[in-house]
């Protein structure tokens, strides 16, 4: 069963203020409700003036613009001012026209996202290699979704995918007993997954999957990663490289924008945690000292960081 995990529960950094209702600016993924000082609201919180399906935004209440959509949404409109639509397959006939569902996201080698069938309509049909088919090739599918896969296939977001063909080969290069055994660099193996469970997940996709009560997730903006270890509760993959324009945090559990002069590592978007030689850390930025100094906490971002405050 897929588990939608909010990104803020994974990588929200430590805040610099104690009162979440007295923020002057907000962390990435949040916007200021009205004039400062005020409360920081999640970009996708439509009950508080946010934008449906939005992951990152700019502006404040009344002038809000979506700059990035959630991974399970497709951006539409001009860059920096998106509307985030429900996905449709690249091939509109893939799921039987408008019927069925198209929630299976496959990330290619260049980071592009393509959407495939996660559910089909019609007796005897199931998502095979991303398209609805009644030729199941010994895979087990019921009520329009696949529940377990045969040799050479693996289960992913409601369908069975072959390692010998795209899009399956973009995720996994070898499978045994219906379980992915070798992933491509953009994906990781889900620890302990069985043939009737999702055994592969994208490094940069925070849509999680559960195995025996444990949840495993990717990290937003992550390109390559190491698989998480089996654990109780929720565990994220450890990122080893981020998408272009993003920098890896020291902990490996976040990909952020880090364009501050003199900064050697950020813990959140443009919030420095360590400065290079000749700079000192001061209020999340780096101030030139002229010497050979470097300060700053190296605690990084934890997947268990408190959500009590969201401003910076």
Q: Note down pLDDT in tens along the chain; length 312 residues.
A: 333 333 333 333 333 345 656 788 888 889 998 888 889 999 999 999 999 989 999 998 889 999 998 876 788 899 899 999 877 676 666 786 544 588 888 988 777 788 899 998 878 899 999 988 899 999 999 999 999 999 999 999 999 999 999 999 999 999 999 999 999 999 999 999 999 999 999 998 877 888 988 899 999 889 999 998 866 678 899 999 998 888 888 888 889 888 889 998 888 888 898 998 999 998 888 999 864 444 333 333 333 333 334 555
> Is 143 within a domain?
no
Q: End of a domain among 36, 53, 85?
A: 85
Residue 164 in any domain: the answer is: no
Q: What is the dihedral of CA 259, 25, 249, 289, to 10 degrees?
A: 50
- The answer to the question of residue 229 being in a domain is no
Would you say residue 291 lies in a domain? yes
How much is the pTM? 0.64
Residue where one domain finishes, among candidates 35, 54, 85: 85
Domain containing 261 equals 257-296
Residue 68 in any domain: the answer is yes
67 belongs to a structural domain: yes
Tell me which residue has tokens 């994208």: 202
Distance CA 270, CA 275 (A): 12
Tell me, yes or no, whether 77 lies in a domain.
Answer: yes
> How many domains in the chain?
2
Do residues 264 and 286 lie in contact, with contact meaning Cβ atoms separated by under 8 Å? no
- Residue 41 sits in a domain whose CATH number is 2.10.220
Cis, peptide link before residue 167, omega less than 30° from 0: yes
> How many Å apart are CA 277 and CA 146, to the nearest integer?
55
Of 85, 120, 142, which residue is a domain's last?
85
CA distance 179 to 189: 9
């Amino acid at each position: 069963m897929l588990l939608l995990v909010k990104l803020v529960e994974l990588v929200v950094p430590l805040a610099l203020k104690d009162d979440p209702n007295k923020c002057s600016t907000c962390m990435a993924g949040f916007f200021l409700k009205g004039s400062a000082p005020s409360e920081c609201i999640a970009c996708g919180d439509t009950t508080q003036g946010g934008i449906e399906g939005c992951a990152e935004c700019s502006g404040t209440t009344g002038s809000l613009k979506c700059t990035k959509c959630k991974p399970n949404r497709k951006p539409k409109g001009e860059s920096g001012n998106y509307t985030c639509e429900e996905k449709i397959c690249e091939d509109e006939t893939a799921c039987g026209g408008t019927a069925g569902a198209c929630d299976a996201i496959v990330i290619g080698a260049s980071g592009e996202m393509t959407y495939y069938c996660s559910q089909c309509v019609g007796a005897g049909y199931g998502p095979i290699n991303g398209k609805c088919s009644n030729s199941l090739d010994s895979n087990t599918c019921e009520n329009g979704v696949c529940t377990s896969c045969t040799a050479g296939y693996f289960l992913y977001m409601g369908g069975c995918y072959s390692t010998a063909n795209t899009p399956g080969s973009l995720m996994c290069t070898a499978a045994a007993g219906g379980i992915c055994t070798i992933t491509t660099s953009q994906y990781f193996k889900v620890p302990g997954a069985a043939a009737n469970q999702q055994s592969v997940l994208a490094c940069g996709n925070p849509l999680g999957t559960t195995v025996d009560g444990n949840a495993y997730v990717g990290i937003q903006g992550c390109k390559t990663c190491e698989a998480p270890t089996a654990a109780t509760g929720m565990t994220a993959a450890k990122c080893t490289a981020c998408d272009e324009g993003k920098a890896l945090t020291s902990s490996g559990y976040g990909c952020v924008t880090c364009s501050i002069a003199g900064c050697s590592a950020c813990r959140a978007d443009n919030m420095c945690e360590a400065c290079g030689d000749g700079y000192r850390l001061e209020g999340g930025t780096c101030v030139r000292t002229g010497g050979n100094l470097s300060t700053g906490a190296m605690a990084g971002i934890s997947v268990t960081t408190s959500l009590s405050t969201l401003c910076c």
